Copies of this chain bind each other. A is one copy, B any other.
Amino acid sequence: MVSKNELKILTSLYQKKYRDKHGLFLVEGRKTIEEFLNSSYSCRQIYVANIEKNAFPKELISHLSINDLKKISNLKHTSGHIGVFELPNDQVMIEQDIKIVLDHIQDPGNLGTIIRLCDWFGIEQLICSKDTVDCYNPKVVQASMGSLSRVKVLYVDIEEFINDRQEEIVSMLLNGENIYQTTLPKKAVYIIGNESNGIRPSLVEKTKLPLTIPQFSKHQKVESLNAATATSILLSELMRK
């Protein structure tokens, strides 16, 4: 049986301060839990509504009524499986020639999609400003579709980080060089900015190469591209030969 206190802790993990306090985060869905079990993350417990129908390690499984599971679930239709994993302690920079940096991305769906894109395009680590949404937010975990189990996310003081870099700083801006007509450096830091405000001025100042995805519409009014779709086009251009 799962105690009321345990349930309270589980629902509290929707908030970053309680994730940090307990050192835990939630992963939903059978397949995504399996991906986290096969990763460097440690699993604390797996709550399932139906004990018979799963292949998880027995010592990790707890039974939870479907009604209690729905209370914890982030989804409209829960799959009946919620895993509790430990937050990682290691916050080490991975040396990769191409570094993708997010400045103040706020939408959990965007961050999750960008983590999934990094996974697809072989970017092992994503670097985020401290004011970017937390990658262990259940909506980010959901949108990343298991990719968070493979892509490391490092939160840094972004101005300090950029100041310390030796590589070329490339920023995705609205008035830069045409991305399709520019040779993209293969060893560089690429910055993608906030959904509404773009990249903060102090980082724009440090930019050596400003890059733009040109607009092909005959209309003048088109909004900037969504942060995740801009990232997908940037990664595509970096990886295509």
A226 and chain B: residue at smallest CB distance? B113
Min Cβ gap A219→B in Å is 5
Q: Please pick, from B147, B218, B222, B232, the residue contacting A233 in the complex, using a CB distance under 8 A.
A: B232
A122 and chain B: residue at smallest CB distance? B216
Contact B146 A225 (CB under 8 A): no
Q: Please pick, from B113, B228, B229, B241, the residue contacting A180 in the complex, using a CB distance under 8 A.
A: B241
Give chain B residues whose Cβ lies under 8 Å from the Cβ of A113: 226, 228-229
Q: Which of A136-166 contact B (CB under 8 A)?
A: 145-147, 150
Q: Please pick, from B109, B145, B237, the residue contacting A109 in the complex, using a CB distance under 8 A.
A: B109
- Cα A221 to Cα B216 in complex, Å, equals 35
Give chain B residues whose Cβ lies under 8 Å from the Cβ of A219: 119, 150
Contact A213 B229 (CB under 8 A): no
Give chain B residues whose Cβ lies under 8 Å from the Cβ of A172: none
Contact A147 B222 (CB under 8 A): yes
- Cα A147 to Cα B220 in complex, Å, equals 11
Contact A217 B120 (CB under 8 A): yes
- Would you give the 0/1 interface string for A110-122, flagging 1 where the beta carbon is closer than 8 Å to chain B? 0001001101111
Give chain B residues whose Cβ lies under 8 Å from the Cβ of A233: 232-233, 236
- Cα A113 to Cα B143 in complex, Å, equals 15
- Cα A232 to Cα B18 in complex, Å, equals 37
Q: Which of A2-33 contact B (CB under 8 A)?
A: none
- Cα A229 to Cα B110 in complex, Å, equals 11
A50 on the interface (CB 8 Å rule)? no
- Cα A117 to Cα B146 in complex, Å, equals 26
A240 on the interface (CB 8 Å rule)? yes
* Pairs across A and B, CB under 8 Å, 16 listed: A109-B109, A116-B225, A120-B213, A120-B225, A145-B223, A146-B221, A147-B222, A150-B222, A180-B240, A180-B241, A213-B236, A225-B232, A228-B228, A229-B229, A233-B233, A236-B236
A147-B222, A228-B229, A233-B233 given; name 13 further pairs at CB < 8 Å: A35-B221, A109-B109, A113-B228, A116-B229, A119-B222, A120-B217, A120-B222, A121-B217, A146-B221, A147-B223, A150-B219, A150-B221, A236-B236
